[in-house]
Structure 1
Amino acid sequence: MNVDAALDEFVRHLRSERGLSPHTISAYESDLRSLLSFLSTREQKADGGAAVDAITLDALRDWLWAESQAGLTNKSLARRTSSVRGFTSWLARTNKITQDAGSRLKTPKPGSSLPRVLTHNAVTEILDGLSAEAVGGEPLAIRDLAIIELLYASGIRVSELVGLDVDDLNLTDNTVRVTGKGSKERVVPFGIPAARALHRYVTEARPTIRAEAEAPVLANAERETISGAAAVFIGRRGSRINVRTVYQLVAKLLADIPGAGPIGPHTLRHTAATHVLDGGADLRIVQEMLGHSSLATTQVYTHVSKERLKESYQRAHPRA
């Protein structure tokens, strides 16, 4: 069943069985038509052609993020979230879908919004601050600089970053082999600043962290050798770092940036993709870089870039 047909049936249900007011039904339909349009583009189908199975949690999150970038307030986003939950709950009850993705969709809180794209100046401020901290040679400071440089340079997911092994890094041609969703591999390039940060981390800081972590292990023969030998990014104990560690690092850094806005786990990924498109990169190149299976998913960022262009024009042009 496609989403358009399901939506028509849902609206009839709201009208005849729940007896909602015309105003409430209109609000439901407006919210869900927006989702329908997004899914049709994402799935590269004609309007309404996307199947109800396309309503996944990832798709819903991408839709809300696109809506936030288009300027919707959190009040409007919360209403749309509520409408979607009602729709997916009905789809599940009527056995049109097997999993209710809407039930796991979080409502944006008042006073906050979904992650937004950082400015070039904000990114520079973050990286300059990390570089200053790393000058002293503290291993974890050097590691943190390498993490943020790579996230911004490549646009890879945090989960992909923490899963990297040393063999995945190629510091000769400045590329990294990434295993993404569905165990699909791709090779992503990164620039000279990221290469320098990674080289210093791999050759200086990482060996120091491992040596300090292994010392107590060697002193106790009954303990097993620490894990993380293959991992690129490791913690104080020498083990592979986890996603939460990187999320906390990003949140801490962005909290110190005036005007950075609300922080989300994919902030640097969103920023990297948008900045690359702002620089004139081909959409399909960005699709490959991000590991998107569908070009329609990447097209969300072209919308963001156009919005940023419009904002810049309106600020700068004397007759805007």
Structure 2
Amino acid sequence: MNCNEEFIIKAIGKLTIEFNFDWEQQRKVRDCLNYSMYNYEVHTLEKSLIKGDMHEKIFLYIKVKKLAGYSDSTLNHYNYTLGKLATFLNKPVSTVTTNDLRMFLILNSEGKKPSTINSIIFYIKAFFAWLESEDLIPRNPARKLEVNKVPKRLRKALTVEELEKLRIACKDNRERALVEFLFATGCRVSEVVDCNIEDLNLNDNSLRVIGKGDKERVVCFGDKTKVYLNKYLEERNKDNDPALFVSQKFPYNRLSRRGIELIIHKIAERAGFNKSVYPHLLRHTMATLGLQNGANLVTIQHLLGHTDPATTQIYAENSLENIKHEYKQHMNC
């Protein structure tokens, strides 16, 4: 991007903030600026003497949150987003303004979903709130940032028939054990990645899981899952890896998040699904089918590892089959 283009983008961003331009108005302003600047060349002022301290503050923030038990995945998201912000601003954190942050969001929001933009805003707000609480800045410029309204969507769980199709499409015991394990335990894919064989208690069909925030909980699985886990583990004679699920090729390393996602995707393709099927969908399915079959909401909350009951309540509110069942039972007069 040359200086002319950078100037036009920043000018449009500033005008959009001041006058609330829509996309068509932004396009007209862009055309006018391009025409007016023909045969002119913009040059930036020398800023080599300006020293920003955001990168070192971000480094400290990440270390503090790591000590607080944040997962590596969460910390990576923080580091990536805040790193882009630091590079964009290149100024001391104490001088950052609300408009600086809005400009960054405008230039980094094009083509992104509202939920993705909200995540970026969340990371920025959390970082500057921490800076303020630590007395590292005089005021919090992110306080006025507003998140986008995201329309609520039903969590689309698999039906019993679809779940059975997925099971039938498994080509070996490893795949079947993985599908059964994801559904039966309702574990997050990151929790399955970290799971070791020694975490299993095959005597009472339970599993010790370390979830978000380094919190430990116990989840359960049925005899069907136990059968396929045993079959899979009996075939594991080529490795000594402690991981519960490993790759099929040498050096038989622990399956990664992406590896598990690819396996589920391939099984779904074989099963003939015309919609996206992913590991977290099996977690949704466990919760939804459990509630439909009469499981207690508090029990589902514990099994899923939700700290806030409101998160689990979404499954009860959005289960269409549950609504239909309750209506037939109590309101169909």
TM-score when normalising by structure 2: 0.53
Shift of 1:18: 3.1
Match of 2:245 in 1: 233
Counting matched residue pairs gives: 212
Q: Is residue 2:309 matched to residue 1:295?
A: yes
Tell me, yes or no, if the aligned pair for 1:115 and 1:263 is still in contact at 8 Å. no
Q: Say which SS state the counterpart of residue 142 (structure 2) adopts.
A: coil
Q: Is residue 2:255 matched to residue 1:254?
A: no
Q: Is residue 2:133 matched to residue 1:122?
A: no
Q: Say which SS state the counterpart of residue 231 (structure 1) adopts.
A: coil
1:286-316 per-residue CA deviation (whole Å, 9 max, x = no partner) reads 01100111111111111222x23446899xx
Match of 1:161 in 2: 192
- Within the candidate set 279, 298, 311, 1:284 is matched to 298
Provide the C-alpha distance between the structure 2 equivalents of 1:166 and 1:86, rounded to a whole number of angstroms.
37
Q: Is residue 2:130 matched to residue 1:96?
A: no
Match of 2:49 in 1: none
Provide the C-alpha distance between the structure 2 equivalents of 1:90 and 1:231, rounded to a whole number of angstroms.
35
Structure 2 runs not aligned, ≥5 long:
1-14, 23-73, 75-111, 129-139
Provide the C-alpha distance between the structure 2 equivalents of 1:97 and 1:18, rounded to a whole number of angstroms.
21
- Within the candidate set 213, 222, 233, 1:182 is matched to 213
Tell me, yes or no, if the aligned pair for 1:154 and 1:188 is still in contact at 8 Å. yes
Provide the C-alpha distance between the structure 2 equivalents of 1:201 and 1:254, rounded to a whole number of angstroms.
20
Tell me, yes or no, if the aligned pair for 2:169 and 2:270 is still in contact at 8 Å. no
Provide the C-alpha distance between the structure 2 equivalents of 1:246 and 1:101, rounded to a whole number of angstroms.
36
Which moves more between the two structures, 264-273 or 169-178? Answer: 264-273
> CA 1:101 to 1:159, structure 2 compared with 1: closer, same or farther past 3 Å?
farther
Tell me, yes or no, if the aligned pair for 2:169 and 2:268 is still in contact at 8 Å. no
> CA 1:114 to 1:310, structure 2 compared with 1: closer, same or farther past 3 Å?
closer
Shift of 1:171: 0.9
Provide the C-alpha distance between the structure 2 equivalents of 1:18 and 1:90, rounded to a whole number of angstroms.
24
| Higher-RCO chain (CA-CA 8 Å, sequence separation at least 6) | 1
> CA 1:82 to 1:231, structure 2 compared with 1: closer, same or farther past 3 Å?
closer
TM-score when normalising by structure 1: 0.55
Q: Say which SS state the counterpart of residue 188 (structure 1) adopts.
A: strand
Structure 1 runs not aligned, ≥5 long:
1-13, 22-56, 58-77, 134-140, 211-226
Q: Is residue 2:195 matched to residue 1:171?
A: no
Provide the identity percentage: 31
Match of 2:174 in 1: 143
Provide the C-alpha distance between the structure 1 equivalents of 2:315 and 2:286, rounded to a whole number of angstroms.
10
1:201-239 per-residue CA deviation (whole Å, 9 max, x = no partner) reads 12x2112x32xxxxxxxxxxxxxxxx72x1111113222
Match of 2:235 in 1: 205
Which moves more between the two structures, 266-275 or 254-263? Answer: 254-263
Tell me, yes or no, if the aligned pair for 2:169 and 2:267 is still in contact at 8 Å. no
Rg comparison, structure with higher value? 2
